[in-house]
Amino acid sequence: QKEVEQDPGPLSVPEGAIVSLNCTYSNSAFQYFMWYRQYSRKGPELLMYTYSSGNKEDGRFTAQVDKSSKYISLFIRDSQPSDSATYLCAMRTNAGKSTFGDGTTLTVKP
Amino acid sequence: SAVISQKPSRDICQRGTSLTIQCQVDSQVTMMFWYRQQPGQSLTLIATANQGSEATYESGFVIDKFPISRPNLTFSTLTVSNMSPEDSSIYLCSVEVRGPQQETQYFGPGTRLLVL
């Protein structure tokens, strides 16, 4: 079993929709939770960074961490065609290296 | 922040040959990482390269196959040796930058390798 499982997708939504991207994990020592966005033929770029449980909002993006359920989510409001990309969740312990999910490919159709 | 460039951006190689990938960062960083990303799969860490010490390899990766150099705080190379078609993948260089509130990992654009 993988330490990090990400909803595989692909996901296709109309412009303006609310998008929910999700990951589960098994390692209770994970403390830091990240979401990366990767456009085609580019490297991943950090989108959201959260420490421990709770919500974090940045513009149209909200990251949610529920450590009791070992579940994290990224919500995108008012999705735009420019949001079309692969989204990777990642998490790590206090002293460890990041473990990445397999990614969910999102297409937002105009 | 950190801006990372990689060379080459892509290459097509014959089996049995070797390819060296270069990674250049615009600022001095302590920790550099090399990842492999295969289509539809997660990023797999190959090794961590710290300046002045031997690279630390993850399970399943060995120095003879993936030798790494880290001559200074802004540069590293990864060599993929004696290549086979199974080595076809995207290879990504990454650095970690520690800020006052968080540690941020930055990635290069990747090197797309196809082995025939």
* Average pLDDT of every residue of chain A: 93
Structure-token pair, residue B102: 């968080």
pLDDT tier at A4, thresholds 50, 70, 90: very high
Say yes or no for a CB contact (<8 Å) between B41 and A45: no
Cβ atoms of B42 and B58 within 8 Å: the answer is no
Contacts 24+ apart (CB under 8 A), B55-62: none
Say yes or no for a CB contact (<8 Å) between A46 and B43: no
pLDDT average, residue stretch B94-108: 85
Query: What DSSP line would sit under B42-111, residue for residue?
Result: -EEEEEEEETTSPPEEPTT--TTTS-EEEEETTEEEEEE-S--GGG-EEEEEEEEEE-SS-EEEEE---E
3-state secondary structure of A83: helix
User: What residues in B contact A88, CB-CB < 8 Å?
Assistant: 42-43
Q: Is B104 on the interface with A (CB under 8 A)?
A: yes
A44 closest CB neighbour out of B40, B41, B107: B107
Model confidence over A42-92: pLDDT tens digits? 999 999 999 888 899 999 999 999 999 999 999 999 999 999 999 999 998
Model confidence over B26-50: pLDDT tens digits? 999 988 999 999 877 889 999 999 8
Q: Is B42 on the interface with A (CB under 8 A)?
A: yes
Say yes or no for a CB contact (<8 Å) between B104 and A88: no
B42 closest CB neighbour out of A49, A97, A103: A103
Structure-token pair, residue B71: 């001559």
- Chain B residue with minimum CA distance to A86: B40
Say yes or no for a CB contact (<8 Å) between B40 and A102: yes
A43 closest CB neighbour out of B42, B103, B108: B108
- Name B24's bridge partners: B5, B75
How far from B82 is each of B62, B79, B85, B98, CA to CA, in Å?
13, 10, 10, 36
What is the widest separation between alpha-carbon atoms in chain B?
46
pLDDT tier at B97, thresholds 50, 70, 90: confident
Q: What is the pLDDT of residue A105?
A: 95
Compute the distance between CA of residue B2 and CA of residue B25 in angstroms, rounded to an integer: 7
User: What residues in B contact A90, CB-CB < 8 Å?
Assistant: 105
A43 closest CB neighbour out of B48, B104, B107: B107
* Separation in Å, CA of B57 to nearest CA in chain A: 12
pLDDT average, residue stretch B50-70: 91
